[in-house]
Chains A and B, each alone.
Chain A
Amino acid sequence: MGPALPTRQLVLLSAVGLAIFFGIWTGAAWLELAPRRFLPMPWDVIDRAFKLTETRFSGQTLQGHLVISVERYLRGFILAVLVGVPLGLLMGWYRWLDYIVTPVFDALRFVAPIAWVPFAALWFGTGIGGPTMIIFAGAFPPCLINAYRGARYVETRYIEAAQTLGASGLRVVREVLLPASLPSIIAGLRISAGAGWQSLIGAELIAANAGVGLMMVRGQAALDTSIVMVGMIAVGLIGLLIDVALRGAETWIKAKQGH
């Protein structure tokens, strides 16, 4: 690989890349390779996004659907973090817990989170509970794995020092393992946040009474591609925001711990 490109060339090439992408899209729509409702112009999508913020579609405006989705998401994600991280840390310390949880976890790991949808709908309905369970199923494993790994890789001398000074098991977990494995935990949260967000969209597409996923499915049923695309863009943007926020937290913690 060559040296880094000069900024001017980089900007130019990036602009060319984007121009090719939007050029092909607009060109294909202009040539009417597909009817406009199937292949809208880029500005049709923007226009539709603005209209959706004013008029309701499937019971909510665009921002209404987004608020519902984000609320469900936070519920499931926070639940996964609150269960997964402590459990992972404790498994890193108490070997018997590790022995008990690991085989169960390994057996469940290969079930794709989205395959829980029928049970989730049966047990918790399609309002808040069902989708929350799917988000949990998607976000829980990375939380647990990274907290466990982080706790396992803590240097023994820190643990020994704490024990010499008379710290109990739970205190070691809370005051040594937790801070020492924070970077690994945050890295796990980033993976889990992405997995949870994707699971939420899946759950809302299949079984939900509101939310941005439902908006997309209704748009699909109405054969209105621009609504579907607005949904995709909104989902992508929120996913990006979540990741940027967690990346910020990651940098902050690393700086604070002096890495």
Chain B
Amino acid sequence: MRALTFLLLESGAGMTGADSGKTRLVVGGATIAGLIAAWYIASTTGAIPKLDFPSPEQFVAAARQVVVEPGFADGLLFDHLLHSVKIILLGFFAATAIGVPLGLWMGWSRTAEALINPIFLLIRPIPALAWIPLAIVWLGLDDAAKVMVLWFAAFVPSVINSYTGVRSIDRPIIEASRMLGIGRMAVITDVIVPGALPSIFTGLRLSLQGCLTALVAAELLGAILGLGKVLYQAGLDIYPAMILVGMVAVALTGFVLTALLDVVESRSMPWRKR
């Protein structure tokens, strides 16, 4: 994701010289401002029916209702947000704490790969969201069911990318480190893990995105609190302004969590040039 932003910003600048970054910013800002103006005009003139999409005022009013008081769908936005983020982090850490070491081990040991890969191949093609009905049958509408779904959403990418990370390390590096006589543990901590780290983080980012999607879907199917609950209730009440507020909240949550992961990533790999 950051790679995309990087690409979008840098490639344009490379082609026309220094001030194209500025042009991009101006045109981009103008586009967003134009869209907001068009939204305002279209909704006040009735070009967009109010029952299909809210006007800016309705959006602000709905945002105030859920952020300040009296709340919506049994809670303030903060309560929903806290609940959703808690489940995302639980599922994410429970899955990656197992998935990353397992992927590394499968990449490292041919025996482990041969033993585990067939089971993994059975689980892998099943989309994370397809686990939701099973999770509900087994665990009900509790948080535990959501954590189970998120676990599968985050587990698969973290295993695959950790595995690929180990396999992409140049053989001579491993052989050289062995020839120089470092111990087995040191090979893992000083060669394998750092070598696989870029790929591991690719996996973690996919895992995080998977968790967010899976959580919204699971909460849309039934929850007591959470961002998905806001969306569900707003859809049920045919309350377009609140649907939009819910979507914005989901997008901001995704943005902030991804940004946090970016910070962790660059801290973990100080040797990489940004």
Interfacial residues, chain A to chain B (CB-CB below 8 A): 1-5, 9-10, 13-14, 16-18, 20-21, 34, 38, 95-96, 98-100, 102-104, 106-119, 121-123, 145, 149, 152, 194, 197-198, 201-202, 205-206, 216-217, 219-220, 223, 225, 228-229, 231-233, 235-237, 239-240, 243
Contact call A122/B137, Cβ cutoff below 8 A: no
Contact call A225/B134, Cβ cutoff below 8 A: yes
The binding surface of chain A is classed by DSSP as: helix
Contact call A13/B220, Cβ cutoff below 8 A: no
Closest to A98 in B: B12
Contact call A9/B134, Cβ cutoff below 8 A: no
Q: Which residues of chain A are near B23, meaning CB under 8 Å?
A: 99
Contact call B118/A1, Cβ cutoff below 8 A: no
| Nearest CB of B to A113, in Å | 7
Given the contacts A14-B117, A225-B134, A232-B130, A104 and B217 also touching, CB distance less than 8 Å: no
Closest to A216 in B: B133
Interface-lining segment among B73-81, B103-111, B263-271: B103-111
23 contacts between A and B (CB under 8 A): A5-B110, A5-B114, A21-B118, A21-B122, A99-B12, A99-B27, A100-B27, A102-B28, A103-B28, A106-B5, A107-B32, A111-B247, A111-B254, A118-B232, A118-B234, A198-B128, A201-B129, A205-B217, A220-B137, A232-B131, A235-B126, A236-B127, A239-B126
Q: Which residues of chain A are near B32, meaning CB under 8 Å?
A: 103-104, 107
Contact call A1/B109, Cβ cutoff below 8 A: yes
Q: Mark B236-265, 1 if CB is under 8 A from A, else 0.
A: 001010010011001110110010000000
Number of A-B contacts (CB under 8 A): 182
Which 10 residue pairs of A and B lie closest in terms of their CB atoms, listed nearest first?
A118-B235, A13-B114, A198-B127, A103-B28, A220-B133, A99-B27, A236-B125, A110-B251, A110-B254, A236-B126
Q: Which residues of chain A are near B128, meaning CB under 8 Å?
A: 198
Contact call B114/A112, Cβ cutoff below 8 A: no
Q: Which of A113, A118, A202 contacts B231 (CB 8 A)?
A: A118
Q: Is B189 an interface residue (CB 8 A)?
A: no
Contact call A231/B250, Cβ cutoff below 8 A: no
Closest to B133 in A: A220
Q: Which residues of chain B are near A108, meaning CB under 8 Å?
A: 251
Interface residues on B, range: 35 or more
Given the contacts A98-B12, A201-B127, A232-B134, A17 and B166 also touching, CB distance less than 8 Å: no
Q: Which of B122, B125, B130, B212 contacts A231 (CB 8 A)?
A: B130
Q: Which residues of chain A are near B16, meaning CB under 8 Å?
A: 95
| Nearest CB of B to A135, in Å | 12
Q: Is B119 an interface residue (CB 8 A)?
A: yes
Most buried by B among A1, A3, A107, A118: A118
Contact call B138/A38, Cβ cutoff below 8 A: yes
Q: Which residues of chain B are near A219, meaning CB under 8 Å?
A: 133
Contact call A17/B119, Cβ cutoff below 8 A: yes
Q: Is B42 an interface residue (CB 8 A)?
A: no
Closest to B27 in A: A99
Closest to B254 in A: A110
Contact call B247/A14, Cβ cutoff below 8 A: no
Contact call B221/A205, Cβ cutoff below 8 A: yes
Contact call A114/B134, Cβ cutoff below 8 A: no
Given the contacts A115-B216, A116-B247, A149-B7, A103 and B134 also touching, CB distance less than 8 Å: no
Given the contacts A14-B117, A98-B8, A232-B126, A119 and B243 also touching, CB distance less than 8 Å: yes
Q: Which of B53, B108, B122, B125 contacts A239 (CB 8 A)?
A: B125
Distance between Cα atoms of A176 and B46 in the complex (Å):
44
Closest to B235 in A: A118
Contact call B137/A145, Cβ cutoff below 8 A: no
| Nearest CB of A to B79, in Å | 19
Contact call A13/B12, Cβ cutoff below 8 A: no
Known: A104-B32, A112-B216. 13 other contacts (CB 8 A): A1-B108, A14-B114, A17-B115, A96-B27, A98-B8, A103-B31, A110-B250, A111-B247, A122-B52, A122-B235, A152-B7, A216-B133, A235-B126
